[in-house]
Amino acid sequence: MIQRIVTELGPWAWWVLGIVLLILEVLMPGVFLVWIGIAAIITGALSLLLWDAAFWTWHAQWLVFAALSLVAVLIGRRIVKTRGQTSDQPHLNQRGQSLVGRTATLEQPITEGRGRIRLDDTMWSVQGPDLPVGARVRVTASNGRDLTVEAV
């Protein structure tokens, strides 16, 4: 069956496979099929050049496609991994970290190291030195649930 498809379509079978894989990547993005699609297109380009060569059987084409797919995936992973991922909002999903450096007024006194402040529309539990209600504090750290503060 594979031999018949390759024989009927000729070197264009690889181009069709490559384009189908690239379309699938657009429909189901995951940055994986794109590399295999590129390998299929390269195999198709080689097939255009080597189609009449005696050694260029469908077995050899599949081996070349498999090797190119492996190489393309490895190169693609390296490209995606090393691509700079800087953000203009590095604390976007780390709300507590985004509050570090802000100042607030204590809503509840800090006694035995624990108190509460209001920042924007949220009440936060804080840790720090004992301070009375109304004292100004600066957020110095966040451990996810609680904020650490110091007197201003």
Global confidence as pTM: 0.52
CATH homologous superfamily of 95-151: Nucleic acid-binding proteins (2.40.50.140)
Q: What is the pLDDT along the chain (152 residues), one digit of tens a residue?
A: 666 776 677 788 889 889 999 999 888 877 788 999 999 999 999 998 988 888 988 889 999 999 999 999 999 888 877 766 676 776 667 777 888 999 999 999 999 999 999 988 889 999 999 999 999 999 999 987 899 999 98
DSSP-assigned letter for residue 83:
S
Contact 98, 91 (CB under 8 A): yes
Q: Where are the domains of the chain?
A: 2-82, 95-151
Rounded to whole angstroms, the Cα distance separating 152 from 150 reads 6
